Amino acid sequence: MTVGSFTVPVTWLQAVDALLSTTTMLASLAFWRWWANRRREPDEITKMAMGCFVAACAPALLMIPALAIEAGGARISILWSFGYALVNNIGFANIMPVGLALYSRVAPRGLQGVMLGIYYLHLFFGNLFVGWLAGLLEVMPGSNFWALHAVLVACAGAGLLMVKLVFGRLLAPDGEAARGAA
């Protein structure tokens, strides 16, 4: 938690995460707007799957310092935490708001608010799971702990691609469904 001779207060890490989250969401919006002007934009589920694959790189990144610690108790830089937060937030920026857009678009009229509330339940259940999963850090080597996280997030991306294969036509915007049928 030391950068040079300055000890970074732990509370600053949450502030950095919030700043990165806001910045990456704005950057993601700008990127997809730029992309849409040059190429065909992928559907929401594909964007969410790509976000999962990017987010899976964040815990995979933490395997590097974890292996260094396991190999000889090396001291690691706080920059690993910042790198993790940046990569994780880039992935998250392509999951959360895109999922909200998908739910609001496909929800039946009159139930959009309820469906958005249901969408937010994934955060509740996800955080319950993450809390349980965090307990494994005490019984697993750090590299295995972060590898498990990376695999779980990558599996979520693969699961989203399977959802796209099964339900892609049903979830496609009306214009895309008509083009696909033609």
- Which tokens in the block code for residue 169? 């036509």
For 39-64, how does the pLDDT look when each residue is reduced to its tens digit (9 = 90+)? 999 999 999 999 999 999 999 999 99
Torsions phi, psi for 122 (to 5 deg): -60, -30
For 117-129, how does the pLDDT look when each residue is reduced to its tens digit (9 = 90+)? 999 998 899 999 9
What is the mean pLDDT of the segment spanning 92-115? 90
Nearest Cα to Cα of residue 59 among 141, 144, 139: 144
Cα separation of 140 and 157, whole Å? 24
The reported pTM is: 0.85
